[in-house]
Amino acid sequence: MARLAKLVAAILLLSVTLLDARLATAESSGQTVIVDSPTLNVRSGPGLTYSLIGKLKDGQKLEVLDRSDDWLQISVDGETGWIASWLTKSNDSGSNENKTIVSRVDSLNIRSSPSITSAAIGKLRSGDLAKLVEYQGEWASIIVDGMEGWVHTTYITEVEEGQKTGASESEKPKVTDANSFTVIVDRLNVRKKPDQTSKRIGTVSKNDTYPIEKIDGNWVKISLGGKKSGWVYAFHGELSSKSTKSSNNSNTVAKTVSIVTNGTNVRVEPTTASDVALRADAGDEFHVVEKKDDWYEIQLSDGGTAYVAEWVVNSSETSASSANAATKKPKRIPGTLKGITIAIDPGHGGNDRGTTGTRGSDEKDLTLQTAELLAGKLKDAGAKVIMTRDSDSYVSLRKRTSIAHEEGADAFVSLHYDANPDRSITGFTTYYTQSAQQSFAQSVNEGLSSTIDLPNRGTQPANYLVLRENRLPAVLIELGFLSNSSEERVLTSLYFREQASQGIYKGLLHYFDTN
């Protein structure tokens, strides 16, 4: 009798367990979670012993298909996998109302749809805020200045409510307590009114300090000199009672500048990532309106203004401190890329599609996607990054090398994906042309070999124009064969692009640490 009672109890316990499992699955299906870890492994099954099939980024939004204990089954890029639930957070609120993102980089493209191939409809500067609408994979839908678009999550940070609202009223510095505002981001918009949608009347730069005229909640009204003033968001600066100074007024500004070389870019904004307003030739002379860091704002013949870099012009009048600053490069810190300028060349673009894979992938799209991930890693390491193209546009081969030379790059990396009539061929190859480029190619190749699982075809000499006409340490990387259907499946995954960009970054870091 006792044995029968134990058997009945065991059956009841098993039934309850199975019922709980079915209820957990039913409750989990359709649930949405957000990745809450810098990287999150996707595995082939619900456990640490299952093979790794991909990685996810912090902040990615995912729909749960199923649950097994502490593991969640999700779908990524049309393929299912399992993730650890303890590295996610619930998205039960389902709303991003009142959430804000801030751009971590200068000249971040706002696109018309969540794709690198879609049209760029605007840009965010470093430190710019935008309203978050929703996440879709590795893209975020935002609204800024009344315009809705998409930005890549690699280059943004979600601002928590506590950060956004700042200190409590009792903790906020009063005008009598603080008389100066110091900018702590690379670029900060100055607006006509204390509102994110108000007209932008200018920008201020990192470490510049300005007198405070008024504080209104999270906004600070600063004096820009003369009778000019405007509003900046307090989150991007420090309030203090120290004496004020403006770097723009501390040095003598040139009255005119003359262009040094033919084809010099004159840009819409004071950054090398900005659109080109016109190309000037050697000897062209312009009147200077204002100097902003390493850029001159110049008067154009049509009455408008644009910007030209200090290092590509001769000035009529320059103070000794400015002259010394222009010739002195930032000192590089070992283990970082601070002080290094890298030119990234995403192969093909526009009407030049490059090779097309057996599954329909276009090389021009993959090179740009990889380049943007690489650019993010290099900037995080302190490097200045020059992109020979940042949209689906055609750029000639000679222009690609001239962009790198003109912007004073220290190295040049051209990204490509390979093809061969023999569809059995696989692997990645790192090419160089000049003997002086060989050690650079070896460093990059070794970095790639340490992070991706494709066959390594090594470093090889090749007569490519972007290498032949290049006086920099330069490489052209073929990251794998789109002509091989199995390899194409790997190459088109976000995980591969992440690993490849990480490997190139490691190779660059090793090269500059040893040279």
Amino acid in position 485 = S
Q: How confident is the model at residue 330 (pLDDT cuts 50, 70, 90)?
A: low
Amino acid in position 327 = T
Structure tokens at 508: 């660059």
- The CATH superfamily of 100-163 is SH3 Domains (2.30.30.40)
Does the domain at 166-249 match CATH 2.30.30.40? Answer given as yes
Apex CA 108: angle with CA 202 and CA 356, to 5°? Answer: 150
Q: How confident is the model at residue 174 (pLDDT cuts 50, 70, 90)?
A: very low
Residues 245 and 211 sit within 8 Å (Cβ to Cβ) = no
Q: Give me the residue spans of the domains in the chain.
A: 27-90, 100-163, 166-249, 251-317, 341-514
Alpha-carbon gap, residue 214 to 144, rounded angstroms: 25
Alpha-carbon gap, residue 418 to 434, rounded angstroms: 21
171 is catalytic: no
pLDDT at site 413: 98
Q: How confident is the model at residue 245 (pLDDT cuts 50, 70, 90)?
A: very low
Range 193-198 contact pairs with CB under 8 angstroms and sequence separation of 24 or more = 193/231, 194/219, 194/221, 194/231, 195/219, 195/231, 196/129, 196/144, 196/145, 196/233, 197/145, 197/146, 198/231
Count of other CB atoms within 10 angstroms of residue 366: 28
Count of other CB atoms within 10 angstroms of residue 195: 11
Residues 482 and 356 sit within 8 Å (Cβ to Cβ) = yes
Residues 492 and 359 sit within 8 Å (Cβ to Cβ) = yes
Least confident of 101-105, 238-242, 298-302, 478-482: 238-242
Alpha-carbon gap, residue 350 to 365, rounded angstroms: 10
Domain at 27-90: CATH code: 2.30.30.40
Q: State yes or no: pLDDT of 20 exceeds 70.
A: no
Closest C-alpha to 442, from 454, 459, 457: 459
pLDDT at site 365: 94
Q: State yes or no: pLDDT of 452 exceeds 90.
A: yes
Phi-psi region of 107 (alpha: psi -120 to 50; beta: other; left: phi over 0): left
Q: Which of 269, 372, 478, 498 is catalytic?
A: 478
Alpha-carbon gap, residue 294 to 309, rounded angstroms: 6
Q: State yes or no: pLDDT of 468 exceeds 80.
A: yes
pLDDT at site 127: 73
Average pLDDT over residues 484-501: 94
Cα-Cα-Cα-Cα torsion 135, 139, 145, 146, nearest 10 degrees, comes to: -60
Does the domain at 251-317 match CATH 2.30.30.40? Answer given as yes
Alpha-carbon gap, residue 394 to 389, rounded angstroms: 8
User: Whole-prediction pTM value?
Assistant: 0.42
- The CATH superfamily of 341-514 is Zn-dependent exopeptidases (3.40.630.40)
If you count DSSP H runs as helices and E runs as strands, how many of each does the chain have, helices first?
10, 34
Question: What's the pLDDT tens digit per position in 263-300?
Answer: 678 888 887 767 888 888 767 788 888 887 677 888 88
Least confident of 8-12, 146-150, 260-264, 478-482: 8-12
